[in-house]
Amino acid sequence: MKEEIFASGRHIPHIDPYLNIWHWPIALYLFLGGLAAGILFFAGYFVVKGKEKEMPATVKWAPIIAPIALVIGLLALFYDLHHKLYFWQLYTTIRFTSPMSWGAWTLMAITPLSFVWVASYMKEMFPGWDWKLKILDRFEAWVIENRVPFAWIMMVLSIILGVYTGILLSAFNARPLWNTSILGPLFLTSGLSTGLAAILWISKNEHERKTISRIDLVLILVELFFIVHLFMGFLAGTAVKNEAAALFLGGEFTVTFWVFVVILGLVFPATLEAMELRGFHVPAWLPPLLILFGGLVFRFVMVDAGQITRFLY
Name the residues that contact another protein, by CB under 8 A: 1-16, 19, 21-22, 80-87, 89-90, 92-93, 95, 97-101, 104, 171-175, 238, 307, 310-313
| Interatomic CA distance for residues 201 and 194, integer angstroms | 11
Q: What is the DSSP letter of 88?
A: G
User: Phi-psi region for residue 59, left (φ > 0), alpha (ψ -120 to 50) or beta?
Assistant: alpha
| Interatomic CA distance for residues 54 and 213, integer angstroms | 15
| Interatomic CA distance for residues 26 and 229, integer angstroms | 25
Three-state SS for 246?
helix
Nearer to another protein, 24 or 152 (CB): 24
22 with 175: CB under 8 angstroms?
no
Nearer to another protein, 171 or 262 (CB): 171
Nearer to another protein, 100 or 122 (CB): 100
Crossing angle for the helix pair 24-48 and 286-308, nearest 10 degrees?
Answer: 130
Nearer to another protein, 43 or 305 (CB): 305
Nearer to another protein, 91 or 285 (CB): 91
Distance in Å, CB of 88 to another protein, minimum: 8
Distance in Å, CB of 296 to another protein, minimum: 21
Residue type, 77: L
Distance in Å, CB of 98 to another protein, minimum: 5
Distance in Å, CB of 176 to another protein, minimum: 9
E strands, 80-140, where? none
Distance in Å, CB of 109 to another protein, minimum: 16
* Chain centroid to CA 166: 8
| Interatomic CA distance for residues 185 and 222, integer angstroms | 10
Nearer to another protein, 9 or 283 (CB): 9
Distance in Å, CB of 311 to another protein, minimum: 4
